[in-house]
Chain A
Amino acid sequence: MLNRTIAPPIKDAIDFEITLKPYTLAHLSNGVPVYYINDGAEEVAMIDFVFDAGNNYETKNGIAAATNQLLKNGTAQKNAFDITEYIEYYGAYLSRKSFNETASITLHCLSKHLKELLPLIREIITDAIFPQNELEIFQQNNIQRLSVNLLKCEFVANRVIDEYLYGPNHPYGKVNTKLDIESIRREDLISFYNQFYIQSKCRIFAAGKLPQDFEPLLDQHFGDLSLNENILPVKYKREPAHQKKHFINNDPNGVQGAIRIGRPFPNRRHPDFKKAIVLNTLLGGYFGSRLMGNIREDKGYTYGIHSYLENHLEESSWVVSTEAGKEVCEATIEEVYKEMKILREEPVNAEELLLVKNYMMGLNLGYIDGPFQVISRWKSLILNDVDENYFYDSIRTIKQVSAEELQELANKYLLPEDFYELLVI
């Protein structure tokens, strides 16, 4: 008779060896580095062009993002429709994303179509013209989208907490207003494009089933791009808000409040960062976390509550985030601080610690499954200017960190007086 009360034996995930598959590095004639992994079961490919062209470099709000978005809305030879139709005809996806330090153009396509699509990417990178009417449509649609988003408490809370944590002039903290969008001029885009795309600092990441002549193919289309190695990140000073507690009454009919409780935290290279990732998981980083266990699974105040370390290059913040019923918002905030207090005062017991470690190891094992995942790990390391030792140290930290170290860390960072608190209803 099967005894269902006894769990099958498991191999503790902390005993797994995790190996990050190495990438191939090539350099185009102009020196642009290409990091790639040629592997995979499906006939698909991804190429990611990463430019140092994030909002860190803009002198007017919204220029970096608008330039990035409108790259594919017209070149000297093709209008926006021609470009989009060409990409979609080959069943490809061309996404553009703009971050703080970087902005990217990413192509996903069937491997067999790479040859047809790369010339178009080149055209976009070297010959975009930003037509005035395309800019106007972009502005009007973005203003409308913003007006809808501003009615959502979580959208407002996400913007405002970053403003408190970094300051309204910091690239990580500033927000785009309707006026910012209206103030974008075509000349701003062209000037930003000339400075950061035409003369660029570019890195290429690729993965999937790549053609045999992948390197010469890339060199043919991108080996003569002009580079500007003098693009240096602008340094901003963090200027958090003076007042710690804030309330915004956004919607008089709101039935839920968005809660954000956050504190400044150093960047990934700080010696505490890797351990903080473990402590964060314990606090609010997974379904079985303390915050979920207490505030969702015991009290039912919310559909979900999470904590995370913001993913920025220069400096980070540690944030707890949830949407809770209007009448239980205050109680929720109180419970968050209670959970921090418990982490400061009591060491985590051996079983829960092992569970968190095993969970994190399983997650990491899944994170490096397949070429697309692996290149994305590498990209994160490379953009953060660290190497594979950082990755292996992170894994080692998960395996080795002790309950005492985590408690010590909680006493250093999970102090209520350091946290900014925001409630938006």
Chain B
Amino acid sequence: MIVHEDKSTPMAVVDVMYDVGARDEDENHTGFAHLFEHLMFGGSLHIESYDEPLQMAGGENNAYTTNDVTNYYCQLPAENIETAFWLESDRMCSLAFNENSLEVQRKVVSEEFKEQYINKPYGDVWHKLRELCYKEHPYKWMTIGKELSHIENAKLQDVKDFFFKHYTPSNAILTVAGNVSTDQIKKLAEKWFGGIPAGKKYVRNIKPEPQQKEPRMMEIAESVPLNALYKCWHMSSRLDKRYYTAEVITEILGGGASSRLFQSLVKEQQLFSSIECSHMGSIDPGLLYIDGKLLKGITLEQAENAVIVELEKMKTELVTKVELEKVKNKTESMLAFEDISLMNRANSLANYELLGDANLMNTELESYQAVTREEIMEESNRIFTETNCSTLYYRSTIKE
């Protein structure tokens, strides 16, 4: 449990993070961690509705699921904080496991699936890319699930098994932030969570992704208006020091309108109408990617070659001191702005604690500041190799 006192606000945030995400799913039952997140609002052992009492106490809440974690958070007037303890602890005890709630949420998640991944141009692209890049590791499917049928076929028994395996105190981190005192929170936590059996710590046993040995290539033709190019490379895990170097690389290539790819490929050469470079931010070894929409009349081959030229520069020349300084300044300012919101602070603390140490929040900036120009070149040489790369050509079939 983590407490962050901030007496300047009238509010309090209660954040419960469970150490379970889509990477913990069975390949034949994907989308489950996320579907489950929906079911956590369908009533718990002693409380019919989660939302109503919270709203009655002037609170609001939300939750999200990633490939790594599931996080539930609520914000309410600090004076009513006990309501959040009551609600969160009861759903950690046990859910109501209501057949009707499962039935409805299956439909809701199916609509979410359609809204975000089917009924949009390029909506399926990350399904394809993950499958292309990962052959073993469960990052090969998205949190929403590999296919709609996995969600449609979810059974109540699966839901129960999943709950008792993952939703135990030993797999959870409780973070409280705001106008509270540590003593008060210790008492409340003891009162509401103290009696819940700790449960067995779930030990993750995920096959690491074998090293990619050859370039991978995929082509799709769809009725989208523009050709799009996607390139992905495997990068290091969240706790590796090189993670920070990779992040700096993505910033130099794709962070903002003065970044290399934007300046060279959108402004000077005019090959793309938009291009970005980022990474998945995952705990296990993730992906660094470049994603761009081509201008009409430019071929995918031409666009890809121009990207490769930029990557070659990263591999053969040191980035300038100004570029590196710029990224460090941006990171400093980004972290400072993130910390304004109480909710963000609680969420960051939970995230870092899950990684092993909440204090990482205070040393994060130093890790970025420590990255050198030489390390950037070295890491670029490690990441940007042909055999580490997966490329997707997304071709437009719409004729003008």
Contact = CB atoms under 8 A, between A and B. Distances in A.
Nearest to B51: A288
User: A-side binding surface: helix, strand, loop or mixed?
Assistant: mixed
A361 B58 contact: yes
B400 to A, nearest CB: 10
B10 A43 contact: no
Interface residues of A, number: 71
Nearest to A150: B225
Contacts of B223: 253
Interface residues of B, number: 81
A110 B82 CA distance: 36
Contacts of B24: none
A362 B60 CA distance: 8
Contacts of B60: 286-287, 359, 362-363, 366
A157 to B, nearest CB: 12
B263 interface: yes
B77 A144 contact: no
A152 B108 contact: no
Contact of B332 (A110, A251, A254): A110
B254 to A, nearest CB: 12
B321 to A, nearest CB: 11
B103 interface: yes
Contacts of B93: 4
A296 interface: yes
A11 B118 CA distance: 45
Interface in A40-58: 40-44
B174 interface: no
A226 B167 CA distance: 63
Given A5-B46, A144-B226, A298-B104, A91 B330 contact: yes
B170 interface: no
A43 B335 CA distance: 11
Given A84-B258, A91-B330, A256 B51 contact: no
A182 interface: no
A338 to B, nearest CB: 18
B111 A300 contact: yes
A168 to B, nearest CB: 24
Contacts of B111: 256, 300-303, 323-325
A41 B109 CA distance: 40
A255 B55 contact: no
Contacts of B267: 80-81, 137
Nearest to B123: A152
Given A288-B55, A372-B340, A8 B326 contact: no
Contacts of B342: 369
Interface string A260-290: 0000000000000000000000000011100
A362 B225 CA distance: 45
B126 to A, nearest CB: 16
Interface string B214-231: 000000000111100000
8 cross-chain pairs, A with B, having the tightest CB-CB distances, nearest first: A362-B58, A300-B107, A13-B58, A91-B333, A91-B329, A8-B82, A85-B258, A144-B273
Given A10-B56, A298-B104, 12 more contacts: A89-B329, A109-B333, A110-B329, A144-B274, A144-B296, A288-B51, A355-B56, A359-B59, A362-B58, A363-B60, A365-B58, A369-B9
